[in-house]
Amino acid sequence: MANAIRALAMDAVEQAKSGHPGLPMGAADIATVLFTRFLKFDAADPAWPDRDRFVLSAGHGSMLLYALLHLLGYEKMTVAEIKRFRQLGALTAGHPEHNLAAGIETTTGPLGQGLANAVGMAIAERHLAALFGDDIVDHATYVLASDGDLMEGISQEAIALAGHLKLNKLIVLFDDNGISIDGPVALADSVDQVRRFQAAGWAATRVDGHDPEAIAAALEAAKASERPSLIACRTTIGFGAPTKAGTEKTHGAPLGAEEIAAARQKLGWSAPAFEIPSAVRDRWRAAGARGRPLRLAWQDRLAALDAPRRAAFERRITGALPAEKVAAAVEATKRKLAEAPQDIATRAASETALEALTAAVPEMIGGSADLTASNNTRTKGMKTLSAADYAGRFIHYGVREHGMAAAMNGMALHGGVIPYGGTFLAFSDYSRPAIRLAALMGQRVIHVMTHDSIGLGEDGPTHQPVEHLAALRAIPNLKVFRPCDAVETVECWQLALETATGPSVLALTRQSVPQLRRDFVAGNRCARGAYELIGAAGGAAAVSLFASGSEVAIAVAAHKLLAARAVAARVVSVPCFELFLAAPAAERAAVVGDAAIKIAVEAGVRQGWDAIIGSDGTFVGMAGFGASAPYKDLYRHFAITAERVAEAALARLR
């Protein structure tokens, strides 16, 4: 059965003239034991909520996963797809791309991410089990990880968090083949992985990765463990390739017709390319259907749940928000702010919004990378999610921004929870690879990123984001919100929550900002990404001022200065570029307006603003790194002030 995987991997890579045969051939025995004897799943229902998750963290070995899914009978993973490996539009992309219908749990390829996703999946599983009971939620998360996965820094964050949370249903199979692209792993690494995992609170063991019974025994032990488990499986990369096995030559290139022919002989595999002998296919198909009775029994248990619990579970799994409750929470918050305006930091406004939203949306799970009180992500009464209490809704991720972001991706992929987590905006660089994958996968993960400019003050330029808004706005399918006040903050939270098809960043201030939106407006004014906050007195505007976040108040003050000089100006708040740029052209043109003078104000770099103010517009912002000083001094020092904005407008009017 394992040789069927090897043959398909060799053939598909050969046909594509590109790909990685080494891992699938080396890990075929591990995968065969796991999928035929341990993994709980039903190929006929890839989305069964209580299935065990399998994450191929070493995504370059994608043919392992595609071969398995094909052999097991996943309807969409046809032999035609295998033959179209790495071709445009095929399910068999170069690296696995999240597609639940086809059985692919997460997009992997950037090494280490899958392992960290799996930690999030395992957290989501324990949390939902604590809420809905083991009868409804009781599954394991398995990972196949390579040397590269374990060399990446993110793996340390992931395994430390998993060990701390005692995620005993997380089982990592390490394809310990001692080979990476440059050659032997020993060229660059001499870590004892078993002891490393043990030090992080895992159960860890070594086995021969080509001995099915040894693998099975280790998996049995792992399933009984009270800690997460590592099984280091000693394997030979490219197992079966007569001259290339055990070397980096099998890692990422087709083996060649001659080597493949010789491998077939060595493995005793006589079937032609892409053909699976019926006896072997039947056994694989039986393995693919093995979980059906378990799934049906689970469905009965779900049906037997009392109606409200069942409805809650089903709603959460589909990802549908409790829409009326969200709308009511947002409206109540906005009404309160209209009655009693709050001149507070938007991070504090975010906490206020979260008080209402987390009460309305029980699937929201908050957290912070050790900046809880700074990020304001924990609402009153939110219990900590811990090894002692998985029902908690707040996760202390530790100083692990990257691990947090990737775990949140795993939680979103698992379903049933909506993760949000906090750090400083400057440290979005540390979580960026995972944010990018959430965007690529279309996952609802919400990043609260406070201390969003030089406005944080004395911590200095290391902590003051300058290029980060532009860098985040460059990621496709990521929404970057930068609300200007308490009202926009709750509106942006609503938009982030309602964006079920991608991640969001909320860039929030440390410093207080005035509440500019004083009147209650039922609709979400941020929904179009940009809108006129203050119109020009007497009709036609000579000057349009655009700003986001804390700089909207500066634009408003500049508007006042200009009014005193009888200059008709208008102010446009721009809380979300992506939503604005997606609006119809006519609507955008109306918001941009036809004032000859366009000025944008943002305490960051200019990049991106030309789409609104044009290359001949004036930009008031940062052109280099910040400095350490009280924030008001910094705004004056870098000349991001109302006076400067008004002067710039007047200079152009002269």
Give the footprint of ligand TPP on this chain (CB under 6 A).
Answer: 20, 22-23, 58, 60-61, 109-111, 146-148, 152, 175, 177, 179-181, 237, 251
Distance (Å, rounded) from C-alpha 93 to C-alpha 56?
14
The two beta strands, 229-234 and 394-396, are unpaired
Query: HSE of 28 in the Cβ direction (CA atoms, 13 Å)?
Result: 24
Written as one letter, the residue type at 606 is R
Residue 513 CB, shortest distance to ligand TPP, in Å, is 38
Using the minimum distance from each CB to ligand TPP, give the nearer residue, 111 or 326.
111
Residue 420 has what DSSP assignment?
A: E
Using the minimum distance from each CB to ligand TPP, give the nearer residue, 58 or 595.
58
Residue 111 CB, shortest distance to ligand TPP, in Å, is 4
CB 386 within 8 A of CB 338: no
Residue among 584, 580, 587, 556 nearest 570 (CA): 556
Residue 32 CB, shortest distance to ligand TPP, in Å, is 18
Rounded to the nearest 10°, the torsion over CA 87, 93, 95, 101 is -170
Q: Is 619 helix (H, G, I), strand (E, B) or coil?
A: strand
Residue 466 has what DSSP assignment?
A: S
Using the minimum distance from each CB to ligand TPP, give the nearer residue, 146 or 573.
146
Residue 89: its H or E element:
none
* Nearest residue to ligand TPP, scored by beta-carbon proximity: 148
Q: Give catalytic status of residue 248 as yes or no.
A: no
Residue 573: its H or E element:
strand 569-573
Residue among 279, 283, 282 nearest 269 (CA): 279
Residue 236 CB, shortest distance to ligand TPP, in Å, is 10
Using the minimum distance from each CB to ligand TPP, give the nearer residue, 237 or 490.
237
Q: Is 534 helix (H, G, I), strand (E, B) or coil?
A: strand
Edge to edge, what strands does the sheet with 446-450 contain?
Answer: 394-396, 364-368, 418-424, 446-450, 504-507, 479-481
Distance (Å, rounded) from C-alpha 31 to C-alpha 395?
32
DSSP per position, 332-391: HHHHHHHHS----BHHHHHHHHHHHHHHH-TTEEEEESS-HHHHT-PPTTPPBPBTTBTT
* 457 CB-near residues (< 8 Å, 6+ apart): 510, 511, 628, 629, 630, 631, 634
Using the minimum distance from each CB to ligand TPP, give the nearer residue, 113 or 548.
113
Using the minimum distance from each CB to ligand TPP, give the nearer residue, 240 or 529.
240
Residue 402 CB, shortest distance to ligand TPP, in Å, is 11
Using the minimum distance from each CB to ligand TPP, give the nearer residue, 436 or 463.
436
Residue 58 CB, shortest distance to ligand TPP, in Å, is 5
Residue of 157, 401, 551, 602 marked active site: 401
Using the minimum distance from each CB to ligand TPP, give the nearer residue, 151 or 271.
151
12 by Cβ neighbours in 10 Å (0-12 / 13-18 / 19+) ranks as buried
CB 140 within 8 A of CB 170: yes
Residue among 482, 456, 515, 437 nearest 609 (CA): 482
Residue 9 CB, shortest distance to ligand TPP, in Å, is 11
Q: Is 208 helix (H, G, I), strand (E, B) or coil?
A: strand
Q: Taking the CB of residue 428, how many other CB atoms lie within 10 A of it?
A: 23
Using the minimum distance from each CB to ligand TPP, give the nearer residue, 63 or 567.
63
Measured in whole angstroms, how far is the alpha carbon of residue 524 from the centre of its chain?
A: 26
Using the minimum distance from each CB to ligand TPP, give the nearer residue, 185 or 492.
185
Residue 22 CB, shortest distance to ligand TPP, in Å, is 5
Residue among 368, 435, 396 nearest 113 (CA): 435
Residue 56 CB, shortest distance to ligand TPP, in Å, is 11
| Residue 449 β-bridge partners | 423, 507
Using the minimum distance from each CB to ligand TPP, give the nearer residue, 58 or 137.
58
Residue among 555, 136, 537, 511 nearest 305 (CA): 136
Residue 30 CB, shortest distance to ligand TPP, in Å, is 12
Going from the C-alpha of 239 to that of each of 27, 59, 181, the distances in angstroms are 8, 18, 16
Using the minimum distance from each CB to ligand TPP, give the nearer residue, 110 or 163.
110
Distance (Å, rounded) from C-alpha 502 to C-alpha 495?
11
* 134 CB-near residues (< 8 Å, 6+ apart): none
Q: Is 249 helix (H, G, I), strand (E, B) or coil?
A: helix
Residue 68 CB, shortest distance to ligand TPP, in Å, is 16
* 22 CB-near residues (< 8 Å, 6+ apart): 61, 177, 179, 237, 238, 248, 250, 251, 252
Residue 61 CB, shortest distance to ligand TPP, in Å, is 6
Please give the positions annotated as active site. 401
